[in-house]
Structure 1
Amino acid sequence: MDEWSEAVDVIGEAADRLWEAARSGKPCPPVRGMLPDLTAETGYAVQEVNTRRALAEGRRLVGRKIGLTSQAVQRQLGVDRPDFGMLFADMAHLDGLPIPAGIFLQPRAEAEVALVLKEGLEGGPFTVADVIRATDFVLPAIEIADSRIEGWDITIVDTIADNAAGGAFVLGDTPMSLTGLDLGLAGMTMKRRGQEVSTGAGASCMGNPLNAVVWLANALAATDFPLTAGDIVLTGALGPIVEVEPGDVFEACIDGVGSVRAVFE
């Protein structure tokens, strides 16, 4: 077997490990020890195997999530750029309605700004003006990050391979226009059971959530999965992420964007 075939086999085996962890509900060991090349590109190769597997099973791709938009988290993992994962329709939950906590392995909640596109972003390179022009409206969002890797024992390669720790998301239901809205100045407060647990602002997300979308659009332009009209983009956490327990109720409020609730049963 040549080196290329061996690399393909190892990527497939890493994807299988993560797929089985999600299927069984049992976290798995990190995949970095399985991979010969510990680069972001290798992580995305693993992620793509499971993306194509999900699509083949009939799941519908509805957008992307951006992670590692905080410089503090980037320093923690020794990286200098964000990452991204796929959003599927079955990951979406309704504002304020119960979400079964048992469907997750190790859930954590974070408050974000979500953009919904009216135009695709294919080709590039892109500017902030391109992103603004392509955006239909914005919504407040709570992302439920969920690592398939035991104890969140992750490096950048692990988390990219694991669909950027994508678990689920809840969108607010009142769309807001970008007109007159400075997302970089938008303050965020998230409460759990009425107690404040996370605060931040749009500036914590690469200076402005729009900057994160520019990065994403450029990163996806050369792949088989560029951003298309109707896509949802979760732009990245505006403050610290918080562990989720059954019975938790999270409410995130983002200035000028609105509020959203994630209720776990």
Structure 2
Amino acid sequence: MDPMSLSESIYNLIPCDWKEPQQLPRYSSIFKDDIKNEIQKSKSAMKTMGPANVEKPSPKDFLKKHSKDKTLPPKKSFERTSLNVAKKPPVPRRNEHPVMGLQSEKNFINTNVADIVMGVAKKPKPIYVDNRNGDKHDLESSGLLPKYIKKKDYGVIPEYISKRNQEVKKAQEEYDNYIQECLRKSAMKRVSDEERETVLQGLKKNWEEVHKEFQSLSVFIDSLPKKMHKQRLEEEMKQLEHDIAAIEKHKIIYIANK
């Protein structure tokens, strides 16, 4: 270890002149002048000290009374005509006297009795009570009456559903026609039910024959030819089962004409 670096060295007791550390140069941005020019441009050149010099108002332009009140529109005069309201008879004058001594031949008692006897009895308003205190409520507006089943169009298929069903039916017919046209262009032939049944029975017969041959194999298969023969029979049975399942699944079968 260097003995000069120790704090208890005798060389450290000798006083030495203190030197001020050298300062680094101050940072100055290269955009300082551009920013200063932009600030000078944005400053207003007409700024002055004190209040702004504006034109003083004239003493004659003072606020007058009711000068800011809103004026109502003029009243409209409504005239009664025969279109809206019938004119009432004028008020009789002072010198006009009513006609006296007029008597009606109508028997109001008999007329009222006849009206009551021939009249239809007033039906009570349907109500319902919802508690034991007898609170009554209107039954028609409660939603408890089956109003909808009494409508004329109740149970009738809406027009938009009928229109949609027709569109679906038309689209299905167009699709069927398109399929028939594609089959006709590609010369596809539909297999009849008799041919399909014949092919199905033939496949089942072939599967039985292969299965019988598979059952006839020996129990011990110790040679390579026997293993290959067994593998070939298993593949044939699997293919026949796949073909039988496909034909049984699809009722309609098309074949391409070669």
What's the TM-score once normalised by structure 1's chain length? 0.17
Larger radius of gyration: 2
What's the TM-score once normalised by structure 2's chain length? 0.18
Q: Which has the higher contact order (CA 8 A, sep 6+)?
A: 1
Structure with greater proportional helix content: 2
Structure with greater proportional strand content: 1
